[in-house]
Chain A
Amino acid sequence: EVHLMESGGGLVQPGGSLRLSCSVSGFVFSDFGMSWVRQAPGKGLEYISTISGSDGSTYIADSLKGRFTISRDNSKNTVYLEMTSLRADDTGVYYCAKQRYFRNGAFDFWGQGTAVTVSS
């Protein structure tokens, strides 16, 4: 059974940093791309970033370049999202999702999300 679990969310001050983790099980981790998607309170889904399988190629939404970085550790079956210079509008629930293929494809499995609140 495929399982994804995010962690690392919490309260952070504006300008601060946070690293989210997503631990997975139930599939060959290095064979699939992984992504992060977020959702501000009461708002829609927003794509953040994708990292492909074992070659580690990364892709990120233009609006988040320079502040957010995705990475993965295939030995730990974990994908990370490093977030810096956080702002109030970064507040929301952050989901990790498995892609159907090595580099792209639909998001076929999702974690339950971890909440991030940026506030002083």
Chain B
Amino acid sequence: QSPLTQPASLSGSPGQSITIFCSGTTNDIGLYNYVSWYQQHPGKAPKLIIYEVSNRPSGVSNRFSGSKSGNTASLTISGLQAEDGAEYYCNSYTRTSTYVFGTGTKVTVL
């Protein structure tokens, strides 16, 4: 199972919005709505920020939103804040009942 494809890096100024795209196949993103997104700060464990394409866990800011179209999922961070600077990973359930992560996107807040 090849990793899902994400841009290596994105940046934005405080207050701006950015969107991270995650490209998969008909065997993962295109097949199920079990797409999730994780935020990871350096030296820390990943944190779930979006599950099942567009749902936010309790306590996660509503500045994070997710969607999916075909084989591509996306995460939008609105009103970018300094603490949003981190690595972001998408993830999808797959046809073989396993999971696959994206390659990761480093978000820099300018």
Contacts and interface: CB of A to CB of B under 8 A. Distances in A.
Nearest to A100: B51
Contacts of A112: 45
A57 to B, nearest CB: 8
Interface residues of B, number: 26
Contacts, number: 65
Contacts of A108: 48, 51, 57
Given A47-B100, A59-B96, A105 B34 contact: yes
B104 A59 contact: no
Interface residues of A, number: 23
A91 interface: no
A109 B57 CA distance: 11
A68 interface: no
B101 A45 contact: yes
B51 A106 contact: yes
Nearest to A113: B45
Interface of A: 35, 37, 44-47, 50, 59-62, 95, 100, 104-113
